[in-house]
Amino acid sequence: MSISDKNENLLIKAEAGKDLTREDIIALLKLPFKYSAALYLAADRVRKQQMGDEIFLRGIIEFSNHCERNCLYCGLRKGNTNLSRYRMTEDEILATAAQIKKTGVPTVVLQSGEDSFFSQDIVCRLIERIRKETDLIITLSIGERSLNDYQAFQHAGANRYLLKHETASRELYKYLRPGCDWENRLQCLRHLKQLGFETGTGNMVGLPGQTQEILADDLLVMKLLNADMLGIGPFIAHPDTPLAGIDNDDIELTLRVLAVARLLTRNTNIPATTALATLHPQGRLLALQAGANVVMPDFTPEIYKSRYDIYPGRADVGSAVEIISRLEKDFQSIGRTLLYSPGHRPN
């Protein structure tokens, strides 16, 4: 069989949903550039077949930029003394959740650094108030917590949890996240899954020292965990971190990982991330045509938004309502519509 027959057969196998080996995944990630369009089209067809043409919306509130960790790639790291820190009050968070509800977006994502100021009790009270006052579906993205915390959050009414594994390479993880333990992170993800949270994980693409083999392992972690949501974003170096100045303008590799994630996991919710829109003006639309089906507009009040500075130059200026209406026009241009429904992972 010629190499081109082999590549075409691999794409057919992946689109058909046959089991992919680690070698298959690596081969998909390494396909010559001329196969990129065919890979994205295959992922797009699987997205359409499994998830439909609608784009689900999740409204984000970045309620604290305090973080007790020191990840080398992140502007929120505690060692970044140039960052002006904030914590939103409970009433501010509730008012923002009410605004999300008013726009018709059915789910809220509460996101922060790892900030123990927000104790189990405080987070539970927030969840209960949001449920009672808005009935929004609640996703938490607040880092590693104890099993007891996760149980309490669920009991209080949280439905979903996002915790990116960041990288499947133990060595890279250890280097990038000093003092953090990869096994513990995976254990957190297993706990969340076992408790019945719709669980999201994900990675960064373009990290220094990352290989296609590591990216294939990232994809296998997503598959093995049976994660329901996958956040796949490009690494963007922040000037106030030890990784300042490391260039990553490779949107192609991120789109490729996203497309393979769709082919591998079939019916998961995959956002077109703001990080992709930051790296490339058409990044979000390109992701939505390579397997993505979710967009997460940021509702964080303007006074705080620019201070949630995980990476520089974040796209999406203006209020969330303005952003949604801009996005709506863009999405129509590719034959897609926004859907104001919870967008659970189908069974």
Contact between 297 and ligand SF4 (CB under 6 A)?
no
The tokens of 149 are what?
């915390």
Among 76, 126, 230, 260, binds ligand SF4 (CB under 6 A): 76
d(CA 148, CA 159): 16
77 forms part of the interface with ligand SF4 (CB under 6 A): yes
Stretch in the footprint of ligand SF4 (CB under 6 A) among 45-53, 65-73, 257-265, 289-297 = 65-73
CB of 69 to ligand SF4, least distance (A): 4
Q: How many residues does the chain have?
A: 347
The window from 30-38, 63-71, 214-222, 325-333 that contacts ligand SF4 (CB under 6 A) reads 63-71
Q: Of the two residues 67 and 94, which places its CB atom closer to ligand SF4 in the complex?
A: 67
Minimal CA–CA distance to 111: which of 141, 137, 138, 89?
Answer: 141
Amino acid at 84: S
# residues contacting ligand SF4 (CB under 6 A): 9
**Is the separation of the CB atoms in 143 and 180 below 8 Å?**
no
Q: Which stretch binds ligand SF4 (CB under 6 A): 40-48, 69-77, 102-110, 295-303?
A: 69-77
**Is the Cβ of residue 146 or residue 282 nearer to ligand SF4 in the bound state?**
146
Q: Can you tell me which of 20, 74, 156, 279 binds ligand SF4, judged by CB under 6 A?
A: 74
Residue closer to ligand SF4 (CB basis): 178 or 318: 178
Helices (H), the chain: 3-15, 22-29, 36-51, 90-103, 120-134, 147-156, 170-176, 182-195, 212-224, 251-265, 274-279, 283-288, 302-305, 320-332
Residue type, 126: L
Amino acid at 343: G
What is the three-class DSSP state of 59? strand
How many whole angstroms separate alpha carbon 321 and alpha carbon 190?
35
Which residue lies nearer to ligand SF4 by CB, 17 or 178? 178
Which one of 10, 28, 97, 113 is in contact with ligand SF4 (CB under 6 A)? Answer: 113
54-57 vs 160-162, strand pairing mode: unpaired
The Cβ of residue 65 has, within 10 Å, a number of other Cβ atoms equal to 24
* Residues within window 129-168 making contact with ligand SF4, judged by CB under 6 A: 143
Give the residue, chosen from 69, 160, 191, 336, that forms a contact with ligand SF4 under the rule CB under 6 A.
Answer: 69
In the complex with ligand SF4, the residue whose CB is nearer, 163 or 323, is 163
Among candidate residues 56, 26, 43, the one with its CA nearest the CA of residue 346: 56
CB of 146 to ligand SF4, least distance (A): 16
- Residue 225 in contact with ligand SF4, rule: CB under 6 A: no
Q: What are phi and psi for residue 338, nearest 5 degrees?
A: -80, 140
Task: Using CB under 6 A, pick the residue from 29, 51, 71, 236 that binds ligand SF4.
Answer: 71
Q: For residues 144 and 330, which CB has a smaller minimum distance to ligand SF4 in the complex?
A: 144
Summarize as ranges the residues that interact with ligand SF4 (CB under 6 A). Answer: 67, 69, 71, 74, 76-77, 113-114, 143
